[in-house]
């Protein structure tokens, strides 16, 4: 307990040191929401990975490795392919268009391409972002509260307030630059943890061969990459769904703005290489942690606790404390980015662009900070209730954002016939399809096909078909 508290206190010093270091660059909208587009490549890379992976990587994917064995490597393959596609085919184009148009948000980026007098793209985008991010932030704060409560013995409500206050405070003070640089710290910690834990776990088993034998003795299907859940059509659908986990990388706004924040197009190449390698190491380390944990600690009631369980059982208190901080930091790295995403949608897209506010850039940046605070407090209030509905909702928040913005971003740069109405139809249709897929019997009837697949497909089809019938509304295209 003392070791965990001491390590976490040191981590807090780092967080707030970064926040105060960056606070002078938050006096403009571009500074507060995009760090004035001056981030170096290694910061962009690790910020992208920490935001995209975070707590799900350390808890969810390790738990999947524990439950599904080597089949969880399909998720790793999907993530590596997805992140590679976005860095190779979209990142530099997003950066270029963002610089040319002075964009700060993803709706900015899309609106810059079309004549949109009624702000249709912004209005729809703001609604989708706030709906998805609102539930996402609340759920992550619930996870933060539970983590603090588990690791320190703190009362749950007090733990939620404590964790949320930390996140809101350094995001409020330092803006996007603070978030990006703390993501760098968090990403490095996550990488070290996902190298150290599986290495020590496998070593304690006597090596890879002993781990494989132990896994075979528990269930031979855990070593079968091609036969999930007994094989058959359901098995192939599961593999396809695992691979599709990487699709949202192509469009989720909290990652897309990372490309816009880079210092130059040339730095995007360096950042992409770092990010792809780190994604592979992240995923491989997480799955191996789960697999080794299945042999070391069989019969674990909650598979998603395997990382903290191994951290407690295999290491001395100081290292355990550091690894617990890694888990907490990973969760926090998602919340701060989501707070800024929602805040930018309210201030930049709604207040400045839709409502036409004439306030100065400095005033709007101050409004951005206030909005971050308000959204954080609202998320905190829902987290205190600990509603199970929030957890159900967050299951498709990642895919909902990916289905809404992924297809339209792909078409923006690779389908020159895209029109305003095609873009609006793609955003709306992709999002609604992913939500309906989860909320209706369609998901179970399809064998649990991951909702991003139908959402992404529908979004692409609508972009092309609607654009074909509305060509007269098209404008200059990038």
Q: What is the share, in percent, of the chain residues with pLDDT greater than 70? A: 93
Q: What distances in angstroms separate CA 70 from CA 46, 298, 447, one per listed residue? A: 26, 16, 21
Query: Residue 3 has which token pair?
Result: 């070791």
Evaluate if residue 386 carries a pLDDT over 70. Answer: no
Evaluate if residue 156 carries a pLDDT over 70. Answer: yes
Residue 129 CA, chain-centre distance (Å), reads 13
Q: List the Cα angle 397/398/401 in 5-degree steps.
A: 80
Which has the higher per-residue pLDDT, 107 or 15? 107
Mean pLDDT value of segment 214-242:
79
Task: Break the chain into its structural domains and give their ranges.
Answer: 2-390, 395-478
Label residue 389 by pLDDT band (50, 70, 90).
very low
Global model pTM greater than 0.85:
yes
CB 136 within 8 A of CB 375: no
- The torsion of the CA quartet 105, 111, 112, 115, rounded to 10 degrees, works out to -160
CB 417 within 8 A of CB 466: no
Rounded CA separation 424/466 (Å): 9
CA proximity to 450, closest of 241, 233, 228: 241
Mean pLDDT value of segment 386-401:
64
Evaluate if residue 229 carries a pLDDT over 60. Answer: no
Residues 243-264 as b or e (16 or more Cβ within 10 Å = b)? bbbbbbbbbbbbbbbbbbbbbe
Rounded CA separation 328/337 (Å): 15
Q: Would you say the C-alpha torsion 226, 232, 234, 236 has a positive or negative sign? A: positive
Evaluate if residue 393 carries a pLDDT over 60. Answer: no
User: What is the pLDDT at residue 476?
Assistant: 46
Mean pLDDT value of segment 94-107:
95
Q: Where does 2-390 sit in CATH, by number? A: 1.20.1730.10
Which has the higher per-residue pLDDT, 326 or 401? 401
Q: Tokens 């943890």 — which residue?
A: 193
Residues 119-146 as b or e (16 or more Cβ within 10 Å = b)? bbbbbbbbebbbbbbbbbbbbbbbbbbb
Evaluate if residue 4 carries a pLDDT over 80. Answer: no
Mean pLDDT value of segment 413-442:
93
Mean pLDDT value of segment 273-289:
96
| Mean pLDDT estimate for the chain | 88
Query: Residue 38 has which token pair?
Result: 């001056």
CB 215 within 8 A of CB 69: yes
Long-range contacts at 358-367 (CB < 8 A, ≥ 24 apart): 361/28, 361/29, 362/27, 362/28, 364/29, 365/26, 365/27, 365/28, 365/29, 365/31, 365/32
User: What is the pLDDT at residue 51?
Assistant: 87
Rounded CA separation 413/98 (Å): 13
Query: Which residues have a Cβ under 8 Å from the Cβ of 131 and sit 6 or more positions away?
Result: none
Label residue 1 by pLDDT band (50, 70, 90).
low
Evaluate if residue 232 carries a pLDDT over 70. Answer: no
Query: Residue 138 has which token pair?
Result: 């609340």
Helices (H), ranges, 89-225: 92-101, 106-111, 120-152, 156-205, 208-218
Rounded CA separation 362/355 (Å): 17
pLDDT digit string, tens, across residues 165-212: 988 998 999 999 999 999 998 899 899 999 999 999 999 999 999 999
Label residue 151 by pLDDT band (50, 70, 90).
low
């Amino acid at each position: 307990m003392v070791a965990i508290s001491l390590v976490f206190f040191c981590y807090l010093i780092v967080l707030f040191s970064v926040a105060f270091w960056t606070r002078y660059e938050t006096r403009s909208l571009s500074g507060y929401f995009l760090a004035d587009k001056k981030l170096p490549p290694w910061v962009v890379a690790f910020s992208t990975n920490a935001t995209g992976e975070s707590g799900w990587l350390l808890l969810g994917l390790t738990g999947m490795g524990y439950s599904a064995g080597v089949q969880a490597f399909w998720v790793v393959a999907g993530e590596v392919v997805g992140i590679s596609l976005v860095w190779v085919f979209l990142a530099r184009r997003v950066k270029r268009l963002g610089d040319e148009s002075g964009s700060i948000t993803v709706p900015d980026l899309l609106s810059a391409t079309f004549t949109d007098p009624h702000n249709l793209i912004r209005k729809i985008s703001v609604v989708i972002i706030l709906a998805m991010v609102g539930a996402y932030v609340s759920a992550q704060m619930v996870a933060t509260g539970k983590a603090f409560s588990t690791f320190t013995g703190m009362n749950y409500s007090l733990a939620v307030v404590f964790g949320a206050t930390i996140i809101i405070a350094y995001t409020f003070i330092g803006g996007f630059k603070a978030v990006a640089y703390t993501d760098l710290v968090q990403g490095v910690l996550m990488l070290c943890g996902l190298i150290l834990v599986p290495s020590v776990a496998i070593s304690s088993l006597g090596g890879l061969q002993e781990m494989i034998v132990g896994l075979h003795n528990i269930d031979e299907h855990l070593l079968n990459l091609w036969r999930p859940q007994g094989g058959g059509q359901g098995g192939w659908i599961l593999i396809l769904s695992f691979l599709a986990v990487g699709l949202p990388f192509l469009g989720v706004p909290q990652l897309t703005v990372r490309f816009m924040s880079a210092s130059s197009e040339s730095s995007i190449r360096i950042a992409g290489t770092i990010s792809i390698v780190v994604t592979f190491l992240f995923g491989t380390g997480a799955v191996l942690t789960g697999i080794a944990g299945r042999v070391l600690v069989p019969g674990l009631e909650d598979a998603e606790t395997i990382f903290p369980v191994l951290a407690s059982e295999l290491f001395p208190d100081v290292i355990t404390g550091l690894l617990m901080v890694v888990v907490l930091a990973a969760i926090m790295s998602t919340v701060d980015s989501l707070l800024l995403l929602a805040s930018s949608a309210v201030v930049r897209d709604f207040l400045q662009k839709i409502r036409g506010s004439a306030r100065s850039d400095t005033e709007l940046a101050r409004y951005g900070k206030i909005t971050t605070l308000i959204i954080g407090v609202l998320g905190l209030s829902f987290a205190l209730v600990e509603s199970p509905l929030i957890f159900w909702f967050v299951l498709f928040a990642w895919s909902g954002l990916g289905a809404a913005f992924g297809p339209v971003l792909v078409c923006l740069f690779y389908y020159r016939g895209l029109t305003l109405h095609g873009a609006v139809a793609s955003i709306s249709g992709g999002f609604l399809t992913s939500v309906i897929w989860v909320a209706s019997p369609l998901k179970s009837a399809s064998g649990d096909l991951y909702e991003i697949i139908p959402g992404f497909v529908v979004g692409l089809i609508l972009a092309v078909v609607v654009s074909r019938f509305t060509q007269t509304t098209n404008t200059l295209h990038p």
